[in-house]
Structure 1
Amino acid sequence: MPRGSLTLSAVLAAVLLTTAAPASAAVLPTPPTSSGPSAGAPSPAVPVTAETGFQGRASEAAEGSRSCAGTRVETFGPASLTGAIVGAAVHDGRAYVVTRGQKPPVLAEIDLATRAVVRTARLPDAPAAGEPEGGWATAVSGGKVYVGTYPVPDLYRFDPASGEVTHLASFGKNGGYIWSLAAAPDGTLYAGTYPDGRVREYDPDTGAVRDFGVLAAGERYVRAVVADDRTVYAGLLDKGKLVAIDRATGAVRELAQGTTGIGVVAEHGDRVLAVSGPALIDVRKDGTDVRNVPLGPLSLDALTVAADGTVYATSRPDGAIHRYRTGDTALTPVADPPSRDDETRRIVLTDDDTLVGFSGSGGMWSLDLRTGTSAFTDLIEAGLPAGAERPQSMLLVPGRAVYVGGHFFMDVRDLRTGEQRRFRVPGEPKDLVRHGNKIYAALYPSGQVVSVDLRTDEVRPLARLGHDQQRPWDIEYDPGTGKLLVASAPLGARLEGALSIIDPGTGAIDSYPGVIPDQSLMSLSLDSRAGVVYLGGDVLGGGGTPPVRASASVAAFDLRTRTVRWQVDPVPGMRTFQDVKVHGGLLYGVYKRDSGTWIALDPATGTVRQRGALSGYGELTVHRGRVFAATFFGGGNAYELGTDEPGGGALGPARHLATGLGDDWYTNPQLHFEPGSWQAWTMSGRHLARVDLNPRCPLLTVTPPQG
């Protein structure tokens, strides 16, 4: 079966046995065109019809009396199915991989000779609050496989002899990670954790745990660890430091300072290697002879060292293989990417001539170093159980299909046939927008924008954001200029995001980093009539350095002059806008880390017309002249904002429309309405769902399906 496209029925029929009634095959009408306010004053009055506004609410009431009594929730099976992996290890002719996104995570054993999954086990939920969804950290000690999980930082042991899985220890509370795990030559284990930025020692013989304390003030991530007989070497992501910890005394010393976060570390002989953004650091274990090898536009995501000191590395974002030896001034290409544009979780030399790698999208490959030829195995096809993951994004093509962005794959439900399919994309689609027969996806971690052909599922690269912008959060199409607009944030210890303006025909890109000074961008909303895009800021930026601003800003960016018309901080002390949406002369906004506060801002005066609280944060959407919000927390909820009546002069509180939708989005809860109705595509738990959100109906209470 080709890697580019997989039919879900062939791979995941068992998962879909509980799928509810199929979606309607009716072709739906085109949605009405909506327009927003100018940057300096509210928009002129727009004729209000039954489709667009308040004068049609009598007919809506009649519609509500009919729909409220019928079926208001339909589910269609898992929205985004995954075989993605995080941790990987090799032992005694077998590989062990751990899934990401599934609950509970799967640990799969793979026979390296046959390339088939021969055994699987689930990592059980431990007593602490929260449930594991994956295991980035894996290591082998004493013939047993150890796994560190997230978002509960727990340590597990898998015994290949008995198949038994045992929970061993917890290194924090829900929301934490064991990012990295390494075994010293004597079998002692060392774990790097988040958000406390520590290294912990675990003795497999006694179960004793030792904490080495704070390694650098303000550090949250120990992203990589390795150990020799006397020392633990740790890479710090926020502070970009490579540190050495004396295993006997616990003394900490700095070996090298990177230009950005250190996420990969390896050791061999008397040297330690670490990856810091666009450089490979090669340093003696005593901290002398520091060499910085430039990587150009690439970074490295995995290293392994041969017995003779040759270092093999995989690069990101292309996934290619390189070779390096101390004294080289650059890396030497070895082979083309075995899994192009993929993240490599681990590489291992199984003999002098064979390199085995594990791809984050859910693959395993082997490379013959003598010939440069490689072979790729899709782990789902090899027998890895697929499961429902937290979706990244969603897009409705009315009357045609629902697209759901997952981890390196897009899942599609055809509304005309009820069939489902999936195809690969080179990253996580954080947001999607449609224009004509193309969908444009903004991807993490590459900061790339790609196009997807609606007719063929063909994926083509369009542009890379550059300027360290690896987290594109929002994308819209501007019909006035024919350009794509992307709001983004940096990765790691940087604050400033960027607005990128991309020509979808040529891929030409104009970038405006720091368009809101000292803030990244989480959201944008286009007023095409006024030629203005509104930008929602985040003072925390990449999250790896202290903010210098106290309040998140909104800015109005003029698309004609390419300048900021004005900037305002609507609510002092609120640090992150999750979403902004212009409608009816007002700019609506939802704050992220501030108890779901929502506002309606008057762009003409910069004043807040209304302020209220939701259960949490999520995305806003405008439909039939109303503003809706879907939110995390409190079980997953949907609201209508600004529920005033014509001539009332004031906005009322948010109207609670639905609850119990679940908190299973990976990025932001979303609603995608079918034109001309109150039916919205969203999530119920981890299942694709269509729910009736008629504002005239009573509160809808949803019971998400299991699995």
Structure 2
Amino acid sequence: MPRTCLALLMVLTALSIPALSIPALSIPAAAQATAAPNCDTPAVTTYGPASVTGAIVGATVHEGHAYVVSRGPKPPVVAEIDLATRKVTRTATLPDGPAAGEPEGGWATAVAGGKLYIGTYPVPDLYSYDLATGQVAHLHSFGANGGFVWSMAAAPDGTLYLGTSSDGRLWEYVPSTGAIRRYGVLVQGEHYVRAVAADETTAYVGLLEKAKLMAVDRVSGAVRELAQGPAAVGTVSLHGDRVLAASGSTLIDVRKDGTDRRQFEAGVGIIDAFEVAPDGLVYLTSRPDGAVYSYRTGQDAVTKVADPPSRGEETRALKLAGQQLIGFAGSGGMWWLDLPSRTSEFVDLIEAGFPAGAERTQSMLLVPNRALYIGGHFAVEVRDLRTGKQRRVRVVGEPKAMVRRGDKIYAALYPSGQIISIDVHTDEVRGLGYIGHDQSRPWDIEHDPVTDTILVASAPTGAKLKGALTVLDPDTGKMDVYPDVIPDQSLMSLSVDSKRGVVYLGGDVLGGGGTPPTKTTASIAAFDLKQRKVVWQIDPLPNHRTFQDLKVHNGLLYAVYKRVLGAWIALDPATGTIKHQGLLSGHGELQVHKGRVFTSTYFGGGNAYELGSQAKLLATGLGDEWHTNPQLQFEPGSFDAWTIVGRDLAKVRLDPRCPPVQIPSP
């Protein structure tokens, strides 16, 4: 599909008339219900990128221009935006570096010596973008595939300081010589340096898991603790002799020598960006609301400046230009807030000329004979199966899981933990509330027709172990949350057994991943939906730490494990005995269709299986491009399943009566 068409699709509003028409995507189920297998027809049909995005991560301002880096597409795009015209004037892509893996975005940006420096993920690499020529160069790799350069700051002399994961280290890079220095361990057991600022002598570092604000002497490497927060220290800024930091919704204001620490709960959500005016007035934004506040040293509270210029957004950066505050919205936008009048203007970066690109799919849901809903970053792409047209519905987060109840789609969003509904007729989005209880990763969602409730399994972020089961009444909005329902485990999955009146829960002993687990084996628990309590709990396979998905079918509970590659079981919940088990090429979600259990998996190139007494391979070559977990959405009456191949939407024949489908590599 031409890039210009993709860009046009991205700017359509939820209720606009779609501008692109492609052939109708579905085959009537009735025509396939009784048909004999036809294994000679094309087994795979693709329909272009499943989800496209203009989302950004790293952002900064320099001499009348803004610079942003894309999130999700490969290769990442760096764009220059003229602040006067509010249009994209130049773009470039970041080439793949020598390390294994490919960059998909750049969280960290800094300007020094006429160049923009960019730190990438999921390969922790450093690039430069020459502000005069637009040329891009790869400079250094800080670790293996799976790592991040989370943060970067330029000291007054132009030396760069970078924070990385999963090693949890601070690095120094000298642009004039290319010299690299890795500082020592900041705090034992820390894996994420989430924020960095630097002055003439010291680098100031925010840690995620240990929730500490640290100072590191640039020459000696000596480490001092400046403050302990209640949550991840994700934002650090400097003004004069003071260091400002945010630990969740707690604001920390301390002298650089560690004295006169002022620390208080701001009560505004998670503080995600600072900008300090020349007179010392601090502007800050919070999420999930996206509002703007101010603060000055000596105060014990923040003051609201303006309503959210882009509601529900994470602000990637704040910059002050005269009497205007410029904000960068993670979904792919910029806003200008006029401080005297407190009025704001929002500009969609794609409309401004930022190139959209194919992203990893978060989730997928089929409404048979009507539409396919595809979760992306801050949007749900809707493909009309009757006309082939598509449109985008804006949501304030990543839909990690979706389920249908009547005329509404219910989605659980990361990172806010919000549950929303989308009307299938009007595309109206309605917020139903937030899970809370430190739950930011809602991994699974189902509808129980007997109690008519929406059930959500979730996990915390960072150094926490306790997940939660949420039971939502979709009519009243009443939300009952049961934290730590499996003690010291987060929840990765659930499956409703309406006949027994229970929901089965799949645990993960690692929780948010930032603290040592207290258990060695992941549990399955049965939660009685009438009594609202766990009635039994078992640990099926010793030393298997994480369930990826559960699905009950014909009296058996099928389960796929995540961290032990490809392990699966079929469990009799009445007796706790394992009836079948085996190994797959990886992990993914389970789907029951036509009296059979199916799964598709990461790794090994992306495969699909039928699970019974053993696993039967149905397809290979689907790719490993899901953002969350590989999923299948079957057309009723057939063995054709919607999924993705690479990053393209695809319909794949998964008929167990046919030979395995072999999809060639692109």
- TM tier relative to shorter chain: over 0.9
Give me the whole-angstrom Cα distance separating, in 1, the residues matched to 2:112 and 2:512.
35
Instruction: Choose the corresponding residue for 2:572, options 602, 624, 627.
Output: 602
User: Deviation string for 1:64-114 (max 9, x for gaps)?
Assistant: 2xx211111111110010000000011110000000100000000000001
Range that drifts further, 302-311 or 79-88: 302-311
Q: Give the CA deviation at 1:360.
A: 0.4
Structure 1, unaligned runs of 5 or more: 31-49, 52-58, 643-650
Query: Aligned ranges for residues 78-93 of structure 1 at < 5 Å?
Result: 78-93=49-64
User: Deviation string for 1:574-606 (max 9, x for gaps)?
Assistant: 000000111111111001111111111111111
One-letter identity of the residue aligned with 1:610:
H
Q: 1:400 touches 1:416 (CA, 8 Å); kept in 2?
A: yes
1:207 aligns with 2:178: yes
1:142 aligns with 2:108: no
Residue of structure 2 equivalent to 1:535 = 505
Q: 2:24 touches 2:386 (CA, 8 Å); kept in 1?
A: no
Give me the whole-angstrom Cα distance separating, in 2, the residues matched to 1:315 and 1:587.
42
Query: Aligned ranges for residues 391-402 of structure 1 at < 5 Å?
Result: 391-402=361-372
Q: Give the CA deviation at 1:24.
A: 2.8
Instruction: Choose the corresponding residue for 1:658, options 619, 622, 637.
Output: 619
Range that drifts further, 1-10 or 83-92: 1-10
Give me the whole-angstrom Cα distance separating, in 1, the residues matched to 2:26 and 2:219.
66
One-letter identity of the residue aligned with 1:132:
P
Instruction: Choose the corresponding residue for 1:5, options 11, 14, 24.
Output: 14
Give me the whole-angstrom Cα distance separating, in 2, the residues matched to 1:505 and 1:94.
48
Instruction: Choose the corresponding residue for 2:310, options 339, 347, 364.
Output: 339
The DSSP-based 3-state class of the residue aligned with 1:5 is: coil
Q: 1:76 touches 1:687 (CA, 8 Å); kept in 2?
A: yes
Residue of structure 1 equivalent to 2:150 = 179
Q: 2:383 touches 2:391 (CA, 8 Å); kept in 1?
A: yes
Residue of structure 2 equivalent to 1:296 = 267
Give me the whole-angstrom Cα distance separating, in 1, the residues matched to 2:593 and 2:76.
38
The alignment covers a number of residue pairs equal to: 657
Q: 1:498 touches 1:512 (CA, 8 Å); kept in 2?
A: yes
Q: Give the CA deviation at 1:483.
A: 0.8
Give me the whole-angstrom Cα distance separating, in 2, the residues matched to 1:127 and 1:294.
45
User: Deviation string for 1:460-482 (max 9, x for gaps)?
Assistant: 10121011111111111111111
Residue of structure 2 equivalent to 1:45 = none
Give me the whole-angstrom Cα distance separating, in 2, the residues matched to 1:515 and 1:562.
10
The DSSP-based 3-state class of the residue aligned with 1:470 is: strand
Q: 1:579 touches 1:618 (CA, 8 Å); kept in 2?
A: yes
One-letter identity of the residue aligned with 2:139:
L
Query: Aligned ranges for residues 295-694 of structure 1 at < 5 Å?
Result: 295-296=266-267, 298-351=269-322, 353-642=323-612, 651=613, 653-694=614-655
Range that drifts further, 278-287 or 169-178: 278-287
Q: 1:8 touches 1:422 (CA, 8 Å); kept in 2?
A: no
Query: Aligned ranges for residues 102-251 of structure 1 at < 5 Å?
Result: 102-251=73-222
Q: Give the CA deviation at 1:22.
A: 4.3
Q: Give the CA deviation at 1:193.
A: 0.2
User: Deviation string for 1:208-267 (max 9, x for gaps)?
Assistant: 001112111111100000001110000000110100000111111111111111111111
One-letter identity of the residue aligned with 1:560:
K
User: Deviation string for 1:622-661 (max 9, x for gaps)?
Assistant: 001110011001111100001xxxxxxxx2x200000100
One-letter identity of the residue aligned with 2:310:
S
Give me the whole-angstrom Cα distance separating, in 2, the residues matched to 1:23 and 1:628.
22
Residue of structure 1 equivalent to 2:4 = none
The TM-score, its normalising length taken from structure 1, stands at 0.91
Q: 2:12 touches 2:392 (CA, 8 Å); kept in 1?
A: no
Give me the whole-angstrom Cα distance separating, in 1, the residues matched to 2:119 and 2:369.
44
Q: 1:91 touches 1:143 (CA, 8 Å); kept in 2?
A: no
Q: Give the CA deviation at 1:3.
A: 7.4
The DSSP-based 3-state class of the residue aligned with 2:600 is: strand
One-letter identity of the residue aligned with 1:590:
V
Q: 2:15 touches 2:427 (CA, 8 Å); kept in 1?
A: no
Q: Give the CA deviation at 1:456.
A: 1.0
Q: Give the CA deviation at 1:677.
A: 0.4
Give me the whole-angstrom Cα distance separating, in 1, the residues matched to 2:466 and 2:17.
40
One-letter identity of the residue aligned with 1:341:
G
1:697 aligns with 2:658: yes
One-letter identity of the residue aligned with 2:423:
D
Give me the whole-angstrom Cα distance separating, in 2, the residues matched to 1:604 and 1:438.
34
Q: 1:29 touches 1:398 (CA, 8 Å); kept in 2?
A: no
Q: 1:355 touches 1:369 (CA, 8 Å); kept in 2?
A: yes
User: Deviation string for 1:346-400 (max 9, x for gaps)?
Assistant: 001122x111010000001111111100110000111111010001000000000
Give me the whole-angstrom Cα distance separating, in 2, the residues matched to 1:6 and 1:350.
35
Change (3 A) 1:8 1:404: farther
Q: 1:449 touches 1:461 (CA, 8 Å); kept in 2?
A: yes
One-letter identity of the residue aligned with 2:350:
I
Q: Give the CA deviation at 1:9.
A: 6.5
Give me the whole-angstrom Cα distance separating, in 2, the residues matched to 1:580 and 1:128.
35
One-letter identity of the residue aligned with 1:63:
A
Q: Give the CA deviation at 1:547.
A: 0.4
The DSSP-based 3-state class of the residue aligned with 1:63 is: coil
Change (3 A) 1:659 1:683: same
Q: Give the CA deviation at 1:679.
A: 0.6
User: Deviation string for 1:516-570 (max 9, x for gaps)?
Assistant: 0000000000001211000000000011111000000000000010111100000
The DSSP-based 3-state class of the residue aligned with 2:516 is: coil
Q: 1:3 touches 1:378 (CA, 8 Å); kept in 2?
A: no
Residue of structure 2 equivalent to 1:44 = none
Change (3 A) 1:3 1:340: farther
The TM-score, its normalising length taken from structure 2, stands at 0.97
Give me the whole-angstrom Cα distance separating, in 2, the residues matched to 1:81 and 1:558.
40
One-letter identity of the residue aligned with 2:43:
R
The DSSP-based 3-state class of the residue aligned with 2:36 is: helix
One-letter identity of the residue aligned with 1:294:
E
One-letter identity of the residue aligned with 1:608:
I
One-letter identity of the residue aligned with 2:399:
P
Structure having greater relative contact order (Cα 8 Å, sep ≥ 6): 1
Q: Give the CA deviation at 1:295.
A: 2.1
Q: 1:684 touches 1:704 (CA, 8 Å); kept in 2?
A: no
Instruction: Choose the corresponding residue for 2:238, options 250, 264, 267.
Output: 267
Give me the whole-angstrom Cα distance separating, in 2, the residues matched to 1:223 and 1:122.
25
Q: 1:364 touches 1:379 (CA, 8 Å); kept in 2?
A: yes
Change (3 A) 1:6 1:390: farther
Q: Give the CA deviation at 1:8.
A: 9.9
Give me the whole-angstrom Cα distance separating, in 2, the residues matched to 1:225 and 1:389.
28
Structure 2, unaligned runs of 5 or more: 1-7
Q: 1:3 touches 1:424 (CA, 8 Å); kept in 2?
A: no
Q: Give the CA deviation at 1:25.
A: 6.1
Q: Give the CA deviation at 1:23.
A: 1.1
Q: 1:154 touches 1:171 (CA, 8 Å); kept in 2?
A: yes
Runs of 4+ with >6 A deviation: 6-9
Residue of structure 2 equivalent to 1:39 = none
Give me the whole-angstrom Cα distance separating, in 2, the residues matched to 1:121 and 1:427.
27
Residue of structure 2 equivalent to 1:645 = none
- Percent identity over paired residues: 66
User: Deviation string for 1:50-69 (max 9, x for gaps)?
Assistant: 98xxxxxxx7xx722xx211
Change (3 A) 1:218 1:424: same
Residue of structure 2 equivalent to 1:35 = none
